[in-house]
Amino acid sequence: MGDSSYNYKMFKCFNRKFKASEAGPPPDVKAIFSKFAQDGDLMSVDQFRSFLVEHQGEPADAVTPSDAHRILQEFSRRHPGEVAHHHQHVRGLTLDDFFNFLFLEEPTKKQIHHDMTAPISHYFIYTGHNSYLTGNQLSSDCSDVPIIKALEKGVKVIELDLWPNSAKDDVQVLHGRTLTTPVTLVKCLKSIKEHAFVKSPYPVVITFEDHLTPKLQAKVAEMVIQTFGDTLYYPVAEDQMVEFPSPESLKNRIIISTKPPKEGSGSKDSSEEDEKSGSDGEPAIDKANAAEAKSFQQSAPEYKRLITIHAGKPSGELKDALAVGDKVRRLSLSEQKLEKAAEDHGTDVVRFTSKNILRVYPKGTRFNSSNYKPHVGWMHGAQMVAFNMQGNDKYNWLMHGMFRANGGCGYIKKPDFLMHKGSNYEVFDPKKTLTVKKTLKVKVYMGTGWHLDFSRTHFDSFSPPDFYTKVYIVGVPADCGKQKTKIIEDDWIPVWDEEFTFPLTIPELAILRIEVREYDRSEKDDFGGQNCLPVSELKPGIRAVPLYDKKGEKFKSVKLLMRFQFV
């Protein structure tokens, strides 16, 4: 008797885990349908258009009656079994049709909509660090594969560390003074050429950290010209630029950024590489390099001529390095040096970045290719916040989320307050806490799709999962906050119906981070998906938010139904 009772219970448990309960429309959805369908059973095309304009915030001139009709026809083609009235034309939507339609509503703007005609120093640029590494900073393989993956995600700044091969007759890409296995420079350059503009036509910047003799620098110049041809952009005049060109003017072009070789020196100072590797800053220049200095006049000028963005590191006082001169340039700071600069010279950093480019890179002790808080750089106007793109940490999620803005083109126009100078040349002070500019209300209705994308026993062996959602704002310190829903037990399609409020002082830099977890009493809660969305790009109204895995790959079916309101 005991055994049969146990088996019956087990059968019930197994039976339960296979079933995903059907969740109907939340109360808000029913109320909105009634409001716009005027208590009828069908929302007409005109009523549907009114919903899109009045509730979803779509511009009235962008959604004409014919547009609304076309949207409904497209929906009926994609969901022929769910739309009851679609013969030669679509009469309208039932409540269930309307509910299904909401799961197609994108949460953010998809098109490029920023002004792209300002100098590139006016933009945040999607930037990679040691872009050739497949894994950790000490022993992973160097390859063109992570470069290709980064470009396909929309990364627009690729970093290559250049070293002589053992015979000193060719150039390799590797992380110097580590056990990383090299890849040839020419292979990296060819892959950049093939994939540079897959995501958008805006320019790709290649930053070189080079440790080369003048003869090999000349070889690099030859490789670069042969590989890129007319795609390569560099100034006609040899003088350093007084203003950078715009992303619009550099469409489908490749540009080089590195520290120009000094006349009479065998190789450039490599102190950025030394800091990244954790050494004491001794330049990696051997006797062979020094002996070749005499050949400078014949070789290095060609290399120097190709450098569009002249780079350097601070030497001496940091405040002096941040001085704004007549010629534009790029300055590189480690994450720790940026934090020190932010503490001691915050407004000087903002003033510098209003015209020049600041690149921030991970400290040398991040051997596991982890990342750091990007907002310290962004709130000081740093254009190139360089990340280890092969990592799967939450900071990488934020970086990918930030650059979903502006159509995912890799360039985001910096907020006006970071570019504005007062009558006495005063600039934005990141240390000052501002008043609340707008408040974001986030309502988490429900989630679905796990039963389609995961095995039945992925979360719990004998019962459906226990999901909850965490909602964060990540931005300037005054705006950061987190909330979480209650746990919904034993349900593949959880319904939370909870609202959270986030006051924002600088919404332009705020990112909404969403993470779903499955509660586990005995172990760490299981990961159920995440998404990061730039607040500046959020569309108001009821939206379907797709979730991604830890690597940043989108799940096929998992979505949250949410509502966004700005008050």
Would you name the residues annotated as active-site residues? 129, 175
What is the three-class DSSP state of 309?
Answer: strand
Q: What is the dihedral of CA 408, 411, 413, 415, to 10 degrees?
A: 80
Distance separating alpha carbons of residues 183 and 146, to the nearest angstrom: 12
Distance separating alpha carbons of residues 160 and 185, to the nearest angstrom: 8
Q: How many CB atoms sit inside 10 A of residue 91's CB?
A: 14
Task: Name the one residue in this structure whose structure tokens are 């504005």.
Answer: 420
Q: Answer yes or no: are the C-beta atoms of 555 and 547 closer than 8 Å.
A: yes
Tell me which residue of 97, 80, 91 sits closest to 44, measured CA to CA: 91
Q: Answer yes or no: are the C-beta atoms of 166 and 209 closer than 8 Å.
A: no
- b/e code 380-413 from CB counts within 10 Å (16+ = b): bbbbbbbbbbbbebbbbbbbbbbbbbbbbbbbbb
Cα Rg of the chain, angstroms:
27
What tokens appear for 205 in the block? Answer: 């910047």
Number of helices (H), then strands (E), belonging to the chain: the values are: 16, 21
State CA 358 to chain mean position distance.
18
For residue 299, CA distances in Å to 39, 160, 264, 306 come to 80, 21, 12, 13
Task: Name the one residue in this structure whose structure tokens are 């930053």.
Answer: 207
State CA 250 to chain mean position distance.
21
Distance separating alpha carbons of residues 494 and 445, to the nearest angstrom: 9
Q: Answer yes or no: are the C-beta atoms of 142 and 175 closer than 8 Å.
A: yes
- Beta-bridge partner residues of 208: 160
Q: Which long-range contacts (CB under 8 A, 24 or more apart) does 416-422 make?
A: 417/506, 417/508, 418/350, 418/353, 418/354, 418/381, 419/122, 419/354, 419/381, 421/351, 421/354
